Amino acid sequence: MRIAVSAETDGGLDAPVSGHFGHSPYFTLVEIAPSGEQIGAEHSIANPHYPNHEPGVIPAVIHGQGAEVVLTGGMGSRAAGFFRQYGIQPVPGAAGTVREAVQAFSRGELAGNAPCHATTHGCGDEHGHAHHHGAQ
């Protein structure tokens, strides 16, 4: 399974998870074994739409990378809908490093259905538009 994780840097598994996928300068793509217990190959890509993006363009980029899941600190319901249209499971609530987020997902600790307002990042309104709340 290939997982895309929104990241603040291109530091691979040690990069901090971005609080909101739309404001993420990078995405780390991680392969995990079917059991979910082993992390395989990983590589980072720059977000080609950073710092500005239009709704729906980043999900297309992630889809083009072959990801089945996207982990992020938070995203609005509209953005989550775009990911679902591509068959990608949006999973908000990720924190820590990319490695920690992937491990938490593998253990079933990230549900993938929490709305954006349930996160501590205050990442969007009911229309899925991102709001920047300063440094996190």
Report pLDDT for 40. 84
Under a CB-based contact definition with an 8 Å cutoff, are residues 17 and 119 in contact?
no
In this prediction, residue 127 carries a pLDDT of: 34
For the chain, domain boundaries: 2-118
Topology (CATH level 3) of domain 2-118: Nucleotidyltransferase; domain 5 (3.30.420)
CA atoms of 62 and 86, how far apart (whole Å)? 9
pLDDT at 36: 66
User: Do the Cβ atoms of 22 and 79 come closer than 8 Å?
Assistant: yes
Name the pairing type of β-strands 69-71 and 39-46. Answer: unpaired
pLDDT at 11: 95
pLDDT by 10-residue block (mean), the chain, 136 residues: 96 94 93 80 91 85 96 93 96 96 92 44 36 33
Q: Identify the pLDDT of residue 96.
A: 97
Distance separating alpha carbons of residues 37 and 33, to the nearest angstrom: 7
Q: At what angle do helices 57-64 and 77-85 cross, to 10 degrees?
A: 40
**Contact criterion met (CB below 8 Å) for 1 and 31:** yes
Note the pLDDT of residue 121: 37
**pTM reported for the whole predicted model:** 0.80
